[in-house]
Chain A
Amino acid sequence: QSALTQPASVSGSPGQSITISCTGTNSDVGDYNSVSWYQQHPGKAPKLMIYDVSNRPSGVSSRFSGSKSGNSASLTISGLQAEDEADYYCNSYTTNFWVFGGGTKLTVL
């Protein structure tokens, strides 16, 4: 049950695009198309942004997109906005359990 690897921080200017990576193994990210992404603002509960690698829940902006290649998944945010500044976590299903990444702090400059 090892955590997935995410960069500690990323930053971008308003209007730009950024990508957050999430690296696992062939036992989790590489073996299942069950990667989800969560946004968390300070003091708030996490919010589901992407599920099953690339699906967006109803109500989530199309500026958020997800993908996967091999043992790594990615979250891309296009047209960065000030309100996107938050912590982002990936999650993958693995055999009989679920593992989160360590989290990435996104700063909008």
Chain B
Amino acid sequence: EMQLVESGGGLVQPGGSLRLSCAASGFTFSSHGMHWVRQAPGKGLEDISGITSNGVITFYANSVKGRFTISRDNSKNTLYLQMGSLRAEDLAVYYCARVLRGTKNAFDIWGQGTMVTVSS
């Protein structure tokens, strides 16, 4: 079964850091672009970062640029999001999503999400 499993969420103080992980299984991880998408409580989806299959090219939303870093380890089938200088507005469920090969934005597999709470 193809699946993504996020981990690493939790409670962090404003200004703090957190690293999210997304473990992939059941498919060839190194063949797919990957994204992180977040959803604040009661709000819509926000695509915050993406990375190409080989990890060479990365993309960031203006809301996280300079504070978050996306990376991947294809030998471990794992995607990461290093989050720094966290703010109250970063409170959200964070999902990782796989990009269907041959498309630009068909996110065909999603993880279950991990909650990040930023509070003192």
Interface residues, chain A, CB within 8 Å of chain B? 1, 3, 32, 34-36, 38, 40, 45-48, 51-52, 55, 57, 89, 91-93, 96-103
CA distance A64 to B112 in the complex (A): 24
Residues of B within 8 Å of A103, CB to CB, are 44-45
Interface residues, chain B, CB within 8 Å of chain A? 35, 37, 44-47, 50, 59, 61-62, 95, 97, 100, 103-108, 110-113
Q: In the complex, which of the residues B59, B95, B97, B111 contacts A97, with contact meaning CB atoms closer than 8 Å?
A: B59
Could you jot down 13 A-B contacts, CB within 8 Å?
Answer: A38-B107, A45-B110, A45-B113, A46-B110, A47-B110, A48-B100, A48-B107, A51-B106, A52-B103, A91-B105, A97-B50, A97-B59, A98-B47
Q: In the complex, which of the residues A40, A47, A93 contacts B105, with contact meaning CB atoms closer than 8 Å?
A: A93
